[in-house]
Structure 1
Amino acid sequence: MVADELARRACAERGLAPPDDVLPMHLLTIPETDIADLGSIIAAALAHSPAARSLLADLEREQHIPETAVRDYYDRNRDRFLTPEALRRGVDPYDDPAPADIQPYEDVHDGIARELRHAAARRAFFDWLDRAREDVEYAEGHEHPGDPTHQDHEHRH
């Protein structure tokens, strides 16, 4: 609830349209792998808060990924770009595959840039939430069980 309220305030400050509260509550399903990457608090905020999702989308639009970063990612992760034929043949991506076994940079460029922009937006969201929560004071006994600033952060409600 706190993350939702903070996200609503951030959306208002950014001039983003307020989330539509008239519609029935919509739960976004977050894949388990994303929960591991995001952490449970942020995953819950994104699953339950249209404002948090709006803010994340806005942060993603703000991210600029330099061409050098896209190229560097491609060069360092060639194993991710084996062609389907190379995969069927069992080509070892770490054993100097033939150039024909790797998808051309031009074919995968947009996907890499999108993935890097998405990751950068998540980092920006984490940073925003950390800064936004700095001034939040919880009523005694209602601290979040996962809040490491609370002396008894492993308690359960």
Structure 2
Amino acid sequence: MEHAASVGGAPVSKDRVEALLEAVPARDRETRPEALARADRQRRRWATQVVVIDELAQKACAERSLRGAGNCATSHDGAAPEEQPITALPAERDVADLGSIVAVALAHSSAARTLLEHLEREQQIPEEAAYDYYDRNRDRFLTPAALRRGADPFHETSDLLPYDEVRDGILHELRRAAARRAFFDWLDRARADVVYAPGYEHPGDPSHPDHEHRH
């Protein structure tokens, strides 16, 4: 079998998985042969997930007529990897809570980023939700002077930045959180159409003996 997986019946080349493995250095520092072999197997399964997310995102972007959605590590014909170092793409603070597979997919797949940005634009956050967030998280909106003197944000409203000054930032944060939930919902549905070749399954798939689910 020459492909690592199929998405809707379309093959995903093993070459794309290998190209991603070359682009992303291994974090494991195993020295024992059996541990190193296991780490290599898991990295291959992990990389397959990243490439599959890119493939699924490209399909989703095409269906939505979204632009700026090129491939991640390689083109479909196995061409050389694009120069897209992970450190030059989404900042670590922006992807740290997304799990390693999705975070790396967003770092290496312009299609995944395009889809996430599209989902964020789609989110409609009610004004009531933004104010409720402001009211429930007052400690995040203390004035600098109030922070310095250790004011209690839940008793002295004069110590808070005015809602109108922080409203846009709150709406942006809530839209981003909603978009991430929508992205994961989309991915859960889209993965139902994926079939993996032996040795390329999800690293957390309990059907293979050395499965693990690491974030």
Q: With structure 2 as the length reference, what TM-score do the two structures score?
A: 0.64
1:110 is aligned, of 142, 164, 168, to: 168
Query: For the aligned residues, what is the CA RMSD?
Result: 2.2
- The Cα of 1:20 is off from its aligned counterpart by 4.7
2:178 is aligned, of 100, 107, 120, to: 120
- The Cα of 1:93 is off from its aligned counterpart by 2.8
Maintained 8 Å contact 2:119/2:179: yes
2:157 is aligned, of 99, 108, 113, to: 99
2:123 corresponds in structure 1 to: 63
2:132 corresponds in structure 1 to: 72
Query: CA–CA distance in 2 between the matches of 1:153 and 1:16?
Result: 40
SS of residue in 1 equivalent to 2:116: helix
1:34 is aligned, of 95, 116, 124, to: 95
More strand by share: 2
1:52 corresponds in structure 2 to: 112
Maintained 8 Å contact 2:141/2:160: yes
- CA deviation profile, 1:15-42 (whole Å, cap 9, x unmatched): 001435699422325416732x211111
2:31 corresponds in structure 1 to: none
> Gapped runs of 5+ residues in structure 2?
1-50, 76-80
SS of residue in 2 equivalent to 1:142: coil
SS of residue in 2 equivalent to 1:25: coil
- CA deviation profile, 1:105-136 (whole Å, cap 9, x unmatched): 11111100000000000000000011000120
1:144 corresponds in structure 2 to: 202
Query: CA–CA distance in 2 between the matches of 1:78 and 1:127?
Result: 30
Query: CA–CA distance in 2 between the matches of 1:77 and 1:106?
Result: 15
Q: Which moved more, 1:12-21 or 1:47-56?
A: 12-21
Q: Which amino acid aligns with 2:54?
A: D
Q: With structure 1 as the length reference, what TM-score do the two structures score?
A: 0.87
Aligned length: 151
Maintained 8 Å contact 1:12/1:18: no
Query: CA–CA distance in 2 between the matches of 1:154 and 1:32?
Result: 30
1:13 is aligned, of 63, 72, 76, to: 63
